[in-house]
Chain A
Amino acid sequence: MMQSADAMKGRLVIKAVRNVRKGLEEDEAGRGMYRPGIKLDLQRSRLITESYRQTEGRPMVLRRALALEHILTNMDIYIQDWEKIVGNAASSPSGLYFGIDMNWRSVMRVVNSKEGRDLLDDDGREELAGLADYWKGRSMSDIHQEVFSGEILKYWKLEGTFLWTHWAELGIPDYEKVFRVGLKGIIEQAGDKLAELDREVPRDYAAKKEFLQAVVIALKSVVAFSNRYARKAREMAIKAGEPADRQRLTTIADICSRVPENPPQTLHEALQSFFILHVLRYLEYSTVGIGVRFDKVFGPFYERDLQQQRITRDEALELLQLLWVKFHELGLIYSPTVTSIYGGAASLQAVTIGGVDELGRDVTNDMTYLVLDTAGSMQSLEPSIALRYHDRTPDSLLDKAVDLVSTGIGYPSFFNDKALLPMLGAWGVPASDARDYAVTGCVYMEIPGKNIARRVIGGISLPKCLWWALHQGMNPLNNEQWGAPTPDPRTFATLNDVIDAYLEQVRYFYHRINTIEQVSGELYEHYLPRPYYSALLEGCIDRARESRAWAYPSQVHPMCIMLGTTNVADSIAAIKKVVFDGKKLTMEDLIDALDRDFAGCDDVRRMLLNAPKYGNDDDYADDIAAEIHHRTQEVVASFTNRWGCRCRGDGSALSATYAAGAVCPATPDGRKSGESFADATLSPSQGRDTNGPTAVLKSASKIDTVRTYNHLLNQKFLPSMFEQGMRDRFLAYLRTWGDLGIAHIQFNVVERATLVDAQQHPEKYPDLIVRVAGYSAYFVDLSRGLQNSIISRTEQSF
C-alpha cells in the first residue's frame, strides 16, 4: 500500500541547528541548540574509542579502517515500520552524529551548558567525559593545538577577520562506477593491485600495501553492515503480522543482501545502495553537504524499471519520498562557535538535476521531474535541489522548477552552465569532467568520482580587511598591530591608494589562513586517512594512494568563502563619491565617523548611504564592484595549496555574512558596527538595490565568473509574481538570467508581513521555510538577528 505524502512529511526529523552565537557573543542560547527530542548519539564515539585503544601503534590508515569496521559491526541499527530504504549514521532516528575524533571540547561544553543540556542525560554526560579523556591529545583539534606555535598559533585564534574551520570537506563518490561493478568489483580491484605490489615490490611497498589492505577491510565491513540490515529485516519479517509488512521487510532483506556488494538491478536497489554509501561517508569522517547528480545517476534505473513494468511512477515517487525522510535523519552536532555560520542548517545535502552529460547532451529525464515532484510534496529542508541550467534546458523543466520556487521553499537554486563550465575550464578541469559537475553543500562545485581534495578552508571578512586598511593594520581599541602596516590613510591621494591598502590587507590575512590550511592538510593526511572514501574515487586504488596523499590537478580544490565583497565595493564607491570626487569629506573625517560608529555623524552616514550602490545597474558602483571582485580574487590566486593549485574564493555564504558582520566595525558604505554584510557574493546590500530585479541581474552580470569563482545571488519576490499572467514574466526573467551568464540565482518567495508575523508568533509558523544562503532553513530556528537580516533583503515588488 502506498504511503501518503502527508504521512511521509510527518516523519521528517528536524535536526537543523539553531544559532547560539552571534559572532563571538552568545545569542538566544536559552532555547537550545536543537529542537526538543534530538539527542547526541554516543555509539560511534564509544566504538571508535574502543577500536583506537586496541590499535595503538599500528599504521594510521589501518587503524581508521579497523575503527570503521568496529563501528559498522557493533553500532545499533534500526528499521522503522514504514521504511523501504534503510540506514543511518546514528543509532536512532533522533540521534546526532558526533565526530569525537575531530573535536570533543566544544561538544563537552555544549552538553554541560543550557543550550545543549537536553542532548544527553547524566549517564551520557559521564560516559562522554570518560571517552573524552582518551581523546585528550589525540583528537584532530588537540593535534592542531599542539602543532601550531609562533605566528600561526597567534592567527589561529578567533579574531573576526578570518575563520579557519575543519568543517565541510565534501567530494562526491563515483556512484556510477559502484553501480557498474559493485563494491565486490572494487574489492577485487584492490586485491589485484595487492597482487601486483607483491610482483613489483615498489619502494613504498609497505605504505601502498597498508592502504590497499585498509580499503579491503573498509569495503568488506560496509558489505557486512548492509547484510546486518538484511538479517534484521528478515528477523522482523518472520514476526510481522501483516502480509504487506512482511513483504516490505522481505524486500528490504533481499535488497540489502545484494547491494551495495553487487551492481543494483532496479531503482529501489540503486537507491538503497546509494544511501548506504552516502551514510558511510558521514560515518567514516565527519562532514556535511554531500551531493549527487540524481537524475543522471538514477534516471537509467528508473527508465529500465518503467520499460519492464517493474515500477509505476507513484511507486517511484514513494521511494524518493522515503529517501527524503532518510536524508532528514542525517544530522550532526555543530560546535557552538559555528552556529552563527550554519544558522538553521542540518547536514546540507544537495541533489543536482539537469545540466549536460560528459558529451554535452542535456540529461533531463523522467527522474528529473520525479525529483521536483518529490521535493514539492515533501517541502523538506533536506536535500536542497540544485538545477543546472543551460541553453537547451527544456521549457517544461523550467516551468516545473518555477512551480516549486513559487511554493517559497527556496529551491531549486539555479546554476548556470554558461558561466560555470568556462570557469571550470579556466581552473584546469577538462571539458568532459567539467560537464559532469555537481553541486554539494551550498554552491560548491564538485566533479563526481574525482579526487577533489577540496575543502572550505574557512571564510575571510573582506570589509574587515578594508577596516584594517583604514587603520594601518592597527586595532585602535588595544593598539595591537594585527593586520599589515599599510600607509597612513590620511595620506591617500587617490582611490587606488585605498584599494591597494585593502588588497594588501587581504594578502596579509589570506597568507595566514592559507598557512594554517597548508599545515592542516598535512595533519589530515597523517591522522585522518579515509580508506573507504578513497576506494570510491577514480585513481586511488590504481595509485595505491589514499585520497589525501594526492589530488586531482585543478584549481577546483582550495577555496575560501568570501564574505562582504559587496560591502567593500559599496564602501570604495562611497569613498570615491564623497572623498575623492565630491570632496565633501576628508579621509580623516571619514575614519573619525567610522570609529565613532557614526555617533553624532548622521549626516556623514547619510552621505555615504546616498552614494551609488552596487545592484542598481549603475556603472559608477558596478565598475568598482567588478574591480574589487576581480582584484581580490587575483590576490587569493597568488597563493597555492599544498598541491600547487592556485587558491580561489567561493560564494557559499552560509549565514556567515551575518556572523562576520556581527564582529565587524562600521564601514564606509554606511553600514553600522555589527550589522550583517550583504547576504551573498553577488547580492546587493540589503535594501540598497532600488532599481528592481532586472537592474540587480545587470549589475551581477558585470562580475566575471571566469575571473572570480562560483557565486551566490539571492532574490526575494512576492508570491503574486507567480500568479496567472505574471508567471511568464518570471520565466522570461529567469531565461534572461541565463543569457546574462550569471553563475547562480535562488529565490525567497514570501510576503514581508508573513516573516514579521512569524518572528512575533513563531508557534504559528513551525514549518515556514526560507532560503538563508545555499540552503533552506526553518525560519523559527534562526536567531532574531539572522531573521532580521533575511527580512531586510529587498523585496522585488512592482
Chain B
Amino acid sequence: MKQGQQVHQDTPATGFIYNIQRFCIHDGPGIRTTVFFKGCPLRCAWCANPESRELKPQLMIRPTRCMRCGRCVDICPNHALYYDQDGTVRIRWSLCDQCHACVGACTSGALEVIGEAMGVPRIIHEVEKDRLFYRNSGGGVTISGGEPLFQPDFLLELLAALRLQGMHTALDTCGYCEADLLSLVLPEVDLFLFDVKHLDACKHREFTGADNRCILENLRYVAAGARTWVRVPVIPGFNDSPEDIGAIADFAREIGAEKVSLLPYHEGGLAKHAQIGSAACSLHIDVPEESAMSSLCAAVETRGITVTLRG
C-alpha cells in the first residue's frame, strides 16, 4: 500500500479531480454532488471508469466527435496523431507524451484532458451550488473516484472544508489503505460507502490486483465507528453467486453495516479503454439479468440486512 504513500504531497493545495457531477441520486441519501478523485490503487477487471485510475491528467480521444479539421495533427510535436482512411484522427499512444497541445487546438471536443488539479475553494464553490437541494432532500456531497484515499492529504483538507460548510459527506472508497489514514478520515465523514468485491483473498487478488485482508479489516474498523453502507459490484463469473453475495451480506451484518447495495455490472467502461490508450480487460463479462439481481437481493435480505439495488 504503500502506493498511497508515494503520493503524499508536501503542499496539498490541489488534488486531481476528473469530474464533479451534480444530481447524483445513487451515491448516498438524497440529492448529492459527487466529486470524483483521480487515481486508484486497484485494477479491477470490470472497471467502469478506467480514466480514473492514473493519478495524472490523461488525454482522451473520441473519434466520433472528430470534425476532421486536422489542427491537432499539425500541432502534435511527437507526430502521435494521424489520419485514418476515413480522414478521422487517430493516435499512436506509444508516441504520445501527454503534452496535450492537441487539446488546445481541437474545436470539436474529440480531444479532451481527463483530470485537472483543483484547489479546495473551487470544489467548494461547485458543491455549494446545490445546497438547497441537499437541504430539502437530506443530501450532500459524496467523494468518490478513483479512490479518494489515494490522495489522502487533499482528501482531509477537502473533508475539513466541507465540514466547515455544514455539508453532509459520504466517502465512496475501496478501503485499500493504511489503517492509520482511516483513523484520521473516520471522524470527518458522515457516511461510508464501502466497496466490497469478494471475501475470498485469492479471487480478490486475481481480479483487482490487490489483497483484500486490509480492506476487510478497514471495513470492520469503519463500520464500528461510522455509518456504513456496503456496496458490492455484482460481476457475473466473479461474485454473482448467491453464496458469494450472501457471505458478503453476512459479514456486513456482523460488523454492523446499515445496508448492502448491489450494483450490477454495466458496460460503460468498455469503450473508454481505447479512448485513453489502456488495455481493456480480456475477459468478457455479461451484464446481469434483472431477475438474477432480484434473487441476489433476496439472498441478502434473508441474511437479515437491508438491501438496495443501484445505490
Taking Cβ atoms with an 8 Å cutoff, the residues of A that contact B are 602-603, 606-607, 610, 617, 691-695, 698, 725-726, 728-729, 732-733, 735-736, 739-740, 796, 798
- B102 to A: closest C-beta gap in Å: 15
- Chain B residue, CB-CB nearest to A610: B109
In the complex, A698 Cα to B30 Cα: how many Å?
18
Partner of B22, one of A691, A729, A739, A740: A691
Q: Which residues of A contact B49 (CB under 8 A)?
A: none
Q: Could you tell me if B25 and A603 are in contact, using CB atoms closer than 8 angstroms?
A: no
In the complex, A726 Cα to B308 Cα: how many Å?
11
- A253 to B: closest C-beta gap in Å: 53
Q: Which residues of A contact B138 (CB under 8 A)?
A: 732
- Chain B residue, CB-CB nearest to A728: B137
B13 interface hit (Cβ, 8 Å): no
- B60 to A: closest C-beta gap in Å: 16
Q: Could you tell me if A736 and B132 are in contact, using CB atoms closer than 8 angstroms?
A: yes
- Chain B residue, CB-CB nearest to A725: B308
In the complex, A691 Cα to B138 Cα: how many Å?
20
B26 interface hit (Cβ, 8 Å): yes
Knowing A607-B107, A729-B137, A732-B137 are in contact, say whether A798-B26 is a contact too (CB < 8 A).
yes
Q: Could you tell me if A698 and B129 are in contact, using CB atoms closer than 8 angstroms?
A: yes
- A670 to B: closest C-beta gap in Å: 11
Q: Which residues of A contact B21 (CB under 8 A)?
A: 692
Q: Could you tell me if B108 and A740 are in contact, using CB atoms closer than 8 angstroms?
A: no
- A154 to B: closest C-beta gap in Å: 42
Interface residues of B in 89-123 (CB under 8 A from A): 107-109
B182 interface hit (Cβ, 8 Å): no
Interface residues of B in 129-173 (CB under 8 A from A): 129-130, 132-133, 136-139
Partner of B133, one of A607, A694, A728: A694
B245 interface hit (Cβ, 8 Å): no
- Chain B residue, CB-CB nearest to A798: B25
Task: Classify the interface of chain B: helix, strand, loop or mixed.
Answer: loop
In the complex, A693 Cα to B138 Cα: how many Å?
17
In the complex, A692 Cα to B33 Cα: how many Å?
11
Partner of B129, one of A693, A695, A729: A695
- B107 to A: closest C-beta gap in Å: 5
B67 interface hit (Cβ, 8 Å): yes
B293 interface hit (Cβ, 8 Å): no
Knowing A602-B67, A617-B129, A732-B31 are in contact, say whether A693-B108 is a contact too (CB < 8 A).
no
Band of interface residues on B = 20 to 34
The 10 closest A-B pairs by CB, nearest first: A732-B137, A692-B23, A732-B136, A692-B22, A694-B23, A602-B67, A735-B136, A694-B130, A736-B136, A606-B107
Q: Could you tell me if B136 and A694 are in contact, using CB atoms closer than 8 angstroms?
A: no
Q: Could you tell me if B30 and A729 are in contact, using CB atoms closer than 8 angstroms?
A: yes
Knowing A602-B67, A603-B69, A610-B109 are in contact, say whether A726-B25 is a contact too (CB < 8 A).
yes
Interface contacts beyond A729-B31, A735-B136, A736-B132: sample of 17 additional A-B pairs, CB < 8 Å, sorted by A: A602-B67, A602-B69, A606-B109, A610-B107, A617-B129, A692-B21, A693-B23, A695-B129, A729-B30, A729-B137, A729-B139, A732-B30, A732-B136, A736-B133, A796-B23, A798-B24, A798-B25
Which of A726, A733, A798 has the most CB atoms of chain B within a 10 A radius of its CB?
Answer: A798
Q: Could you tell me if B67 and A606 are in contact, using CB atoms closer than 8 angstroms?
A: yes
Q: Could you tell me if A694 and B31 are in contact, using CB atoms closer than 8 angstroms?
A: yes
- B19 to A: closest C-beta gap in Å: 11
In the complex, A691 Cα to B127 Cα: how many Å?
12
Q: Could you tell me if A733 and B137 are in contact, using CB atoms closer than 8 angstroms?
A: yes
- Chain B residue, CB-CB nearest to A693: B23
Q: Which residues of A contact B308 (CB under 8 A)?
A: 725
- B142 to A: closest C-beta gap in Å: 13
Q: Which residues of B contact A733 (CB under 8 A)?
A: 31, 133, 136-137
- Chain A residue, CB-CB nearest to B67: A602
How many cross-chain pairs have Cβ atoms below 8 Å apart between A and B?
Answer: 64
Partner of A603, one of B24, B67, B133, B139: B67
In the complex, A796 Cα to B23 Cα: how many Å?
9
- Chain B residue, CB-CB nearest to A604: B107
Q: Which residues of A contact B139 (CB under 8 A)?
A: 729, 732
In the complex, A717 Cα to B22 Cα: how many Å?
15
- B106 to A: closest C-beta gap in Å: 9
- A589 to B: closest C-beta gap in Å: 13
Q: Which residues of B contact A610 (CB under 8 A)?
A: 107, 109
In the complex, A695 Cα to B308 Cα: how many Å?
27
In the complex, A59 Cα to B133 Cα: how many Å?
61
Q: Could you tell me if A606 and B31 are in contact, using CB atoms closer than 8 angstroms?
A: no
Partner of A740, one of B24, B132, B137: B132
- Chain B residue, CB-CB nearest to A618: B129
- B44 to A: closest C-beta gap in Å: 22
- A96 to B: closest C-beta gap in Å: 44
- A578 to B: closest C-beta gap in Å: 10
Knowing A602-B67, A798-B23 are in contact, say whether A732-B129 is a contact too (CB < 8 A).
no
In the complex, A751 Cα to B137 Cα: how many Å?
25
- A364 to B: closest C-beta gap in Å: 20
- A605 to B: closest C-beta gap in Å: 9
In the complex, A695 Cα to B132 Cα: how many Å?
12
In the complex, A603 Cα to B69 Cα: how many Å?
7
In the complex, A735 Cα to B21 Cα: how many Å?
21
Partner of B107, one of A603, A693, A735: A603
- Chain A residue, CB-CB nearest to B21: A692
In the complex, A134 Cα to B271 Cα: how many Å?
70
- Chain A residue, CB-CB nearest to B23: A692
Knowing A603-B107, A725-B308 are in contact, say whether A732-B133 is a contact too (CB < 8 A).
yes
Provide 29 A-B residue pairs closer than 8 Å at the C-beta atoms, listed in order of the A residue: A603-B107, A603-B108, A606-B107, A606-B108, A606-B109, A617-B22, A617-B129, A691-B22, A692-B21, A693-B23, A694-B22, A694-B129, A694-B130, A695-B22, A695-B129, A728-B30, A729-B25, A732-B31, A732-B136, A732-B137, A733-B31, A733-B136, A733-B137, A736-B132, A736-B133, A736-B137, A739-B132, A740-B132, A798-B23
Q: Which residues of A contact B25 (CB under 8 A)?
A: 726, 729, 798
- Chain B residue, CB-CB nearest to A691: B22
- Chain A residue, CB-CB nearest to B24: A798
- A596 to B: closest C-beta gap in Å: 16
Q: Which residues of B contact A732 (CB under 8 A)?
A: 30-31, 133, 136-139
Q: Which residues of B contact A726 (CB under 8 A)?
A: 25
Q: Which residues of B contact A607 (CB under 8 A)?
A: 107
In the complex, A101 Cα to B25 Cα: how many Å?
56
- A12 to B: closest C-beta gap in Å: 35
In the complex, A775 Cα to B193 Cα: how many Å?
43
Q: Which residues of A contact B69 (CB under 8 A)?
A: 602-603
- Chain B residue, CB-CB nearest to A721: B25
In the complex, A732 Cα to B31 Cα: how many Å?
8
Q: Which residues of A contact B109 (CB under 8 A)?
A: 606, 610
- A464 to B: closest C-beta gap in Å: 27
- Chain B residue, CB-CB nearest to A696: B23
In the complex, A423 Cα to B139 Cα: how many Å?
32
In the complex, A733 Cα to B129 Cα: how many Å?
14
- A115 to B: closest C-beta gap in Å: 40
In the complex, A610 Cα to B106 Cα: how many Å?
11
- Chain A residue, CB-CB nearest to B20: A691
- Chain B residue, CB-CB nearest to A797: B23
In the complex, A347 Cα to B67 Cα: how many Å?
46
Contact with A along B237-262 (1 / 0, CB 8 A): 00000000000000000000000000
Q: Which residues of A contact B129 (CB under 8 A)?
A: 617, 694-695, 698
In the complex, A617 Cα to B131 Cα: how many Å?
13
Q: Which residues of A contact B26 (CB under 8 A)?
A: 798
Q: Which residues of B contact A725 (CB under 8 A)?
A: 308
Q: Which residues of B contact A693 (CB under 8 A)?
A: 23
Q: Which residues of B contact A740 (CB under 8 A)?
A: 132
Q: Which residues of B contact A736 (CB under 8 A)?
A: 132-133, 136-137
Q: Which residues of A contact B108 (CB under 8 A)?
A: 603, 606
In the complex, A365 Cα to B187 Cα: how many Å?
48
Q: Which residues of B contact A798 (CB under 8 A)?
A: 23-26
In the complex, A602 Cα to B308 Cα: how many Å?
46
Q: Which residues of B contact A796 (CB under 8 A)?
A: 23
